[in-house]
Structure 1
């Protein structure tokens, strides 16, 4: 039976960063990626998203970040990831869709259909893109118009001439309104009053936001996105939508969905052609369920008061792109932390064998 020292699940920013650092430490490992090609979630983003539109893509360790410009993000970033895998000879195997991870007498077993791999440690880098969150509201199944989530967004041209209801209070909703308001009628709905910031997003402000996410993870609570605690800002490309009143035309959440629109608790009604759910994502960690990593609070507790990547319930497991590392900058830092966590776990296991 072949046993790998470590397996990384996922070859997005966090997975590639982890693989780079594992290789630098001389740790035998394999990266299993569910996609047919390099690029992580970036390859699935909409064609209209350019590199000038994205909030930022940090450079991978030992490389430069993709340049900004009008090139499609779903082409430019995957191309850079592909070059990175090749240039650093990273051991990526694809496509491999993981079903579950189990424990077999002290070894972790990664299952993918009729294939499986044994490993001493595991780094989960599956991100969130495959787990879109769609809230349920009464009557949702009766709506005869079009319903789309962020993962399905085809670009603004698709919505021309249609009345679009954008649901969600995060950066994606702001970005969608910025693109759609100049070409069609929009209405914005959020559960809470949006929190805007008009000051510069300094490194200190970013650190404070990350600290809030770390605090939740340290308590074993489900993570809140870093973007969700930074507040919202308008970029230059969204100023035209602001001028058109797209962000002022905001209402609280509706009470129910009807065949041709939505109705509020005060009985007011809005007819819409499209409901665009910009309601975020959840961590893609269902395959880890057999390992029982979740705390009683519902999340996976991480070490170092939430600043680390090691699962408190099982130190053989590292999580990157989870909680405070769910950003391109955080993913790079987490990759280094995960690699040292793997090294630490392997050393501990070797010491136990020697002394036992």
Structure 2
């Protein structure tokens, strides 16, 4: 049976919930379809030691401040999961968990959303599936030859899983730095951190609050026709959260340039020397999870859907929310997605009415 609603939101993580909050305020008939069996979005899949970059009161969705976590300045991932679950319940958001959306198609004057548990005809769709379900692995020579363990950020949980091993962490962003530090501070893991370029640490007093302010100032400057300030990228790449600072200051973060290939037993460096490794952890980022939109034929040669703000250029009934700056400033963050969600829902409401 096909159900009829005003709006279907695909994805029940932070972006989907922010959209749901504003849809509720507009009085629209909507449903949120989420592949995860429980609330919390991608936060429920993070590694054990992960903490936010910002304090709780700067990590909130619209309408509800995140409560502080006792004993923590920067809340951990478990606290975020609890917050998102409470948020979903507090605003009575109609999230159907355990529902995987396979396709979104045009169906006359509506969009047809096909999922493993049914079909919905909607006047508009908000895609908020994020990137966590689509990890990126680079095509490094010899990757298939390596006989040790290979995993991506999405599968890392705790350093004890690598006790007594030689581990290579690949990636010069926040995930690479934090996982390398997590392993190095454990003490029973030999860690080599490999990056394409020397890691650039942000000043130690910079956290998510400063990053958001800097990004906002850059956007305002560009909108007003002033010169580009460079934004966050001008400051550095890695937030020096306490564990990263501790490992760095103790000299435990041993960084080497990118290796040339993997071998059966480890890695080969550009000078042809070799190092053994038991595991490679690829902290090499993600791509937008957009396969459900394939029937609409909107993706360009680089895989992105062309958008004006959050609205798909080739399908005005579709909005993309929370995938990064290309769908709204800081829209992939807890604190940033609310503003973008409000604007997306404003446009959806105008279209429907």
TM-score of the aligned structures, taking structure 2 as reference length: 0.85
The 1:278–1:322 alpha-carbon spacing in structure 2 relative to 1, beyond 3 Å, is same
The 1:144–1:297 alpha-carbon spacing in structure 2 relative to 1, beyond 3 Å, is closer
Give the aligned length: 328
Give secondary structure in 2 for the equivalent of 1:181: helix
Equivalent residue number for residue 351 of structure 1: none
Equivalent residue number for residue 328 of structure 2: none
**8 A contact 1:146–1:273 mirrored in 2:** yes
Equivalent residue number for residue 52 of structure 2: 54
The 1:295–1:254 alpha-carbon spacing in structure 2 relative to 1, beyond 3 Å, is same
Give secondary structure in 2 for the equivalent of 1:62: coil
User: CA offset at residue 17 of structure 1?
Assistant: 0.7
User: CA offset at residue 3 of structure 1?
Assistant: 2.3
C-alpha distance in 1 between matches for 2:257 and 2:110: 50
Deviation per CA, 1:89-131: give whole Å up to 9, x if none.
Answer: 1111121101111111121011113621100100011111111
Equivalent residue number for residue 93 of structure 2: 90
C-alpha distance in 2 between matches for 1:228 and 1:164: 31
Q: For structure 1, list consecutive stretches of 5 or more residues without a partner in the other structure.
A: 215-225, 348-356
Match of 2:344 among 325, 332, 338: 338
C-alpha distance in 2 between matches for 1:233 and 1:181: 17
Q: For structure 2, list consecutive stretches of 5 or more residues without a partner in the other structure.
A: 224-231, 326-330
Give secondary structure in 1 for the equivalent of 2:144: helix
Q: Does 1:137 align with 2:140?
A: yes
The worse-fitting range, judged by mean Cα deviation, of 105-114 and 147-156 is 105-114
The 1:148–1:213 alpha-carbon spacing in structure 2 relative to 1, beyond 3 Å, is farther
Equivalent residue number for residue 44 of structure 1: 45
**8 A contact 1:167–1:275 mirrored in 2:** yes
Give secondary structure in 2 for the equivalent of 1:22: helix
Give secondary structure in 2 for the equivalent of 1:102: strand
C-alpha distance in 2 between matches for 1:228 and 1:259: 39
Equivalent residue number for residue 171 of structure 1: 174
Deviation per CA, 1:202-226: give whole Å up to 9, x if none.
Answer: 3542336778999xxxxxxxxxxx8
**8 A contact 1:206–1:230 mirrored in 2:** no
C-alpha distance in 2 between matches for 1:209 and 1:255: 37
Equivalent residue number for residue 260 of structure 1: 265
Match of 1:154 among 153, 157, 163: 157
Deviation per CA, 1:56-88: give whole Å up to 9, x if none.
Answer: 462121112142356884532222222212211
CA RMSD of aligned residues (A): 2.6
| Structure 1 segment 186-335 matched on structure 2, within 5 A | 186-198=191-203, 200-201=205-206, 202=210, 203-207=212-216, 231-247=237-253, 249-296=254-301, 298-303=303-308, 308-324=309-325, 325-335=331-341
Structure having the higher strand fraction is 2
